[in-house]
Amino acid sequence: MRTTPPGGVMKRTEMQKPVNTPPFTHPRRRGLTALGVLLTSGVTSLSYAQDEVSAEVASPDVAPPESALASEGHFPIESTDPPEYAGRRAERGYATGSGSADLLPYMKRYVPQRNQWEVTLAVGLLFPSPSHNLKVPELPVDEYSKVAPQLSVRLGYFPLSFLGAEVQTFMAGSKLKESGYSAALYGASGHLVVQLPLASIVPYATVGIGTLGAISETMGHDRDFSFIWGLGAKAAVSQRVNLRLDFQDNLGQKRDAKNGRQTHHPAVQLGVSFVFERVAARQPLMDADYDGLYDRDDQCPSEGALTHDGCPAVADTDKDGVGDPQDKCPTEAGAAPEGCPDRDLDKDGVLIPEDHCPDEAGEAPSGCANVDADGDGIDASLDRCPKEPESKNGFEDQDGCPDEVPAEIKRFTGVIPGINFKQGTAEIAATSYPVLDEATKILVDYPSIQIEVSGHTSSEGAEKRNQELSVARAEAVKKYFVDKGVLPERVVARGAGASEPVADNETRDGREQNRRIEFRVLMQP
């Protein structure tokens, strides 16, 4: 508690040394009284700090600091600037005499500064040691509950950005383990605070001394000297507010131990700090080349020029507004940023001069619609080799590329030996299956080909009968392929009868050669 004597010198009244409370006094009443004293002390200290800050700012003999101007978003223009520079800024639309400044990124915006006051309200958990010595010696021993809710108030002052001092008071509610009576723990301490002032999130460490006391029904009122250390971090939420997380360890006298032997009473706290005299850091607007454009708007901040972008005027041969150094087409008027005319007028992706139809949307490579540049009859949009004609050989005739029929397919082109039928019928002999299975595999491996299966007979017998037999045999071969999984539209069956002999029907060997099955790869449409 503070009082101000007539002479204006601030003094602090001494607190009465607490005495041991008799066991019959109720601890809840004593706890509430101590909490009231704690809050009154914190509010009085906060008022005093605010009065000091207000008196300093209101003093007519002290000019407002540059940081105060920064907090309002304004920085004075250099007084050494010749008058014409301020005039240039006014002509460009800037406010004469001051300029707005941009906030720095968050991590650099609220870096700790000198001469800052902080008031912190925090809640947390205190973990009383089971080997505590917070009791009247004549009274029985009991343990406090393992976890005690805690409320604390802190007042800190930082004369330097990295170093400060802090006072703290706290109150925590508890119970006695054996008797179940309620109890209260309290403390007051002073700390030295060392923090890392590099960003808006500030880690710190504390070390200090104080007292740790307890009030209970069965153990009375006692307090011990304590040594305190802690770690924590502050994170700025705004110019005036921090979030704060603390870990503290209160080291007090250990019960039934040698004097000076200590036990631990750790605590974790989460709080809100109210900061005074802190300003959000801003980047002042500069005009390094004095051309009337602030550097953030100046495309050439180190070259003074009265142009719209702050850069010296450059030659523009084609008068398209893009200077020759940046113009990729300096002799042809075009559009920014490259300064070149539109080389894809029809927006088909083919640029002039490769586009032979610049006013009509087409397709690569010529840029014309549906053009068959290689003359192979395949539409340009489907032609994978637009500059090379397709080889019309029945093998992949739709891709537009030249190719050769694979050797495997050639092997099954023409007369196919080994395909036999029972005499006078269209029933395939079992000896023919290996040859037909090999042919089936080729059809499966090359799904793009189509074949014609033609049946042939000798001239023996009636012509009509030979024709019907040749058709039936060709159909039997086709059915064999279809049954093995080949699509029916890929196989065409044809019967030629005796009309296409390959040998003399007057001889026995000639007639045997004329009885045959032929495969032919069909041209694809």
Please give the domain boundaries of the chain with CATH numbers for all domains.
73-103+287-312 (no CATH), 108-276 (2.40.160.20), 407-521 (3.30.1330.60)
**Range of weakest confidence among 86-100, 112-126, 184-198, 452-466:** 86-100
- Quick one: pLDDT at residue 437? 93
* Number of other CB atoms surrounding residue 284 within 10 Å: 16
Residue 516 has pLDDT above 60, yes or no: yes
Q: Is the pLDDT of residue 273 over 70?
A: yes
What 8-state DSSP symbol labels residue 477?
H
Q: Say whether pLDDT at 152 is over 90.
A: yes
At 175 the pLDDT is 92
Unique residue bearing structure tokens 């200290």: 45
Q: Assign 3-class secondary structure to 16-33.
A: CCCCCCCCCCCHHHHHHH
- Strand 451-456, strand 491-497: pairing: parallel
Q: What is the pLDDT of residue 284?
A: 72
Mean pLDDT throughout 482-511?
91
Whole-structure pTM value: 0.43
Q: Render pLDDT for 416-446 as a digit per residue (tens, 0 to 9).
A: 899 999 888 999 999 999 999 999 998 898 8
pLDDT at position 176? 92
* Cβ-Cβ contacts under 8 Å for 443 (sequence gap 6 or more): 449, 451, 481, 486, 490, 491
Average pLDDT for the chain: 78
SS3 87: helix
How many Å apart are CA 503 and CA 515, to the nearest integer? 10
- Asked if residue 505 has pLDDT above 50, the reply is yes
User: For 45-70, what is each residue's pLDDT tens digit?
Assistant: 433 333 333 333 333 333 333 333 33
- How far apart are the C-alpha atoms of 504 and 511, rounded to whole Å? 7
Q: Are 101 and 285 in contact (CB under 8 A)?
A: yes
pLDDT of residue 498 exceeding 80, the answer is: yes
393 pLDDT exceeds 70? no
User: What strands, in cross-sheet order, belong to the sheet with 414-415?
Assistant: 414-415, 516-521, 451-456, 491-497
Q: Tokens representing 478?
A: 């086709």
Residue 144's SS3 state is strand
| pLDDT tops 60 at residue 74 | no
Tokens 């009265």: give the residue: 306
- Structure confidence by residue, pLDDT tens digits, 465-485: 999 999 999 999 999 999 999
Q: Mean pLDDT highest for which of 10-19, 165-174, 382-391? A: 165-174
In percent, the amount of the chain with pLDDT more than 70 equals 74
> Is residue 23 over pLDDT 60?
no
Give the gyration radius of the chain's Cα atoms: 50
Which token pair is 243? 């979030």
Q: What is the pLDDT of residue 197?
A: 94
Q: What is the DSSP string of 422-462?
A: -TTS-PBPGGGHHHHHHHHHHHHH-TT--EEEEEE--S-S-
Start-to-end CA distance of the chain, whole Å, equals: 105
Residue 517's pLDDT is 92
Peptide bond just before 353 cis, omega within 30 deg: yes
